[in-house]
Amino acid sequence: MGVKVKEWKGAWWVFVNHQRHRTARRAGPGPRGKRSAEAAATQISARLMSGDMSVLDPPKPRATAPTFAEIADEWLQKYPALHAVRPSTMANYTSFTNTHLLPFFGTRPVMAITAEIENFIEAKRAPGGSVRRVGKPLADSALRTGLLALRLILQRAVRRKFIPANPIKEVEWRGSQRTDNVDPFTGPELRAVLSAARRLDPEFAPMLHVWMQTGMRAGEVAGLQWGDLDLGVGTALVQRTWSRQQLGPTKTGRVRTVALTHPVADDTIDWRPGSGVEAPAILSALRGSKVRSIDPEAFVFGGGRTARSSMEVHRAWTRVLLAAKVRYRAPEQLRHTFASTMLSRNAPLLYVQEQGGWRSAAVLLRVYARWMPHDLSNERPAATPAQPALLTTPAHGVTHPA
């Protein structure tokens, strides 16, 4: 049996040679390292003399609990690679994780944050919880999205066997009830907005006209390309959205074909595409666009392969509303205006759902039921001699005038 203490490469070591088994243990540099090595050599010799051969086994790496930040970083890399998550959704998760979760939980061991989740929620709902709005609480809508990211991060820790169960499932909290801020424009307001837009920004006016007559989401309007339009029929193929300066799928992941000429801004009781005076004018406006491109992938509202940014849209929108002397509402209210107007004119519920791309008719009923006529005894016939009958295109289920 040989147990020796030697200095090697600037540190003191214990070298063991016993029954053709050799191993070495580093004790450290300097006098303290030498004392540690001598003490270890004495202990090793005693254990070997008693028949304990475990000192010859290679040292096992010390298991350390990962921090929340380590699990979160791993999740941010793996989750979008393993799931068909929308880029904008993942961007929201990433932003919330970096802005709120990591500063609060980052350095804590992942198994030690159970008791801190409710403290985190309390801190975010208190004044100062928001990062963007100094001194203000974080909105419950933002917190709700952020807690989804926290749940997914902790679920990864469960799968990695670092924690036995997801602690967020036991957290008690209830945010404020979701409210739909529906404040639609009236017909005269829409006509005033269109008139002002045509005077101030002739290239912006067609975008607003398409928006109000189709009920598209903001990103869907911005993402329209010339190859999506069929101006002969008066339809557009909605198959992408423009958000955060990049293209992605629609919110529901579905592709739909919509009519461009619903008479939402017209002073009429009809809902059918192509009726009214204002509605068909959008086709002429698009045909006469100064920036129309022969490239099918060029954006309809923008410059070539670059769509008009949301900041540009909101600036132009604010100027137009001021010029039109119309009470300010966000441009997204054009979508609410489309739904409420169409339903108030007895447009079929499923048709409105299909055109606007809502996930289900139940959503329309929950949000817009108060605009639906309740006295159906006076409902007009499906078609009259003064109004064209409607055809349905089997490929896309699109309804348009015959």
In a domain, 400, yes or no: no
In a domain, 224, yes or no: yes
Q: How many domains does the chain have?
A: 3
- Look up the CATH number of the domain holding residue 120: 1.10.150
Strands (E), 21-124: 21-28
The predicted pLDDT at position 380 comes to: 47
In a domain, 388, yes or no: no
Q: 143 and 285: one domain?
A: no
In a domain, 128, yes or no: yes
For β-strands 302-303 and 241-243, DSSP reports them as unpaired
For β-strands 11-18 and 2-8, DSSP reports them as antiparallel
Surface-to-core class of residue 185, CB atoms within 10 Å of its CB (0-12 exposed, 13-18 middle, 19+ buried): buried
- Helix extents (H) in 205-356: 205-214, 218-222, 281-287, 310-324, 333-344, 349-356
In a domain, 82, yes or no: yes
The predicted pLDDT at position 398 comes to: 43
270 touches 263 (CB < 8 A): yes
In a domain, 62, yes or no: no
Q: 38 and 153: one domain?
A: no
The predicted pLDDT at position 153 comes to: 95
In a domain, 180, yes or no: no
Q: 30 and 81: one domain?
A: no
The predicted pLDDT at position 387 comes to: 37
- Look up the CATH number of the domain holding residue 304: 1.10.443.10
Q: 238 and 351: one domain?
A: yes
Q: 103 and 249: one domain?
A: no
**Hey, which residues does 67 pair with through a beta bridge?**
109
Q: 358 and 273: one domain?
A: yes
The predicted pLDDT at position 220 comes to: 95
Q: 104 and 238: one domain?
A: no
The predicted pLDDT at position 175 comes to: 63
Q: 220 and 303: one domain?
A: yes
In a domain, 286, yes or no: yes
Helix axes 205-214, 310-324, angle to 10 degrees: 90
Which residues constitute the domain of residue 127?
Answer: 68-170
304-to-49, 121, 200, 211, 283 alpha-carbon distances in Å: 84, 45, 22, 20, 20
Tokens for 80? 């979008």
Q: 36 and 86: one domain?
A: no
273: left (phi over 0), alpha (psi -120 to 50) or beta: beta
- Taking the chain (402 residues) in consecutive chunks of 10 residues, what is each chunk's mean pLDDT? 82 82 79 82 83 70 75 92 84 92 90 84 90 88 91 93 87 66 94 96 94 95 93 94 83 92 95 91 87 75 80 94 95 96 95 94 91 63 38 40 38
